[in-house]
Amino acid sequence: MSELNGSGGTVTVQVNGERVTLPRGSMLIAALLKTGAPCRISVTGEPRTALCGMGICFECRAIVDGVPQQRTCQIVCKEGMAVETQL
């Protein structure tokens, strides 16, 4: 349970190749917001990021560990995860 409540140190993930360290239990969107990276680029070329923060708007979709269309506001960071902006 400590993984979900934020206690117990930090985790390091990669956002578009950049290493980001966050408190254990952080949601993956926090890593994207910390770097200023958009989650995805819309079909009209606009950078998009989290809007609702609870998985309803789907604006926070990104590629997580090679899997596209993942809602980063719903995924707890785990050591070594890789997230990439979805084009």
User: Over the stretch 52-64, which tens digit does the pLDDT of each residue have?
Assistant: 989 899 999 999 9
Number of domains in the chain: 1
pTM recorded for the entire structure: 0.84
Q: Is the pLDDT of residue 4 over 90?
A: no
> What is the CA angle 72-20-26, rounded to 5?
45
Residue corresponding to tokens 């989290």: 50
Q: Give the CATH number for residue 12.
A: 3.10.20.440
What's the confidence (pLDDT) of residue 70?
96
Q: What is the per-residue pLDDT across 13-33, written as a single tens digit (0 to 9) for each?
A: 999 999 999 999 999 999 999
Say how far apart CA 66 and CA 84 lie, in whole Å.
Answer: 8
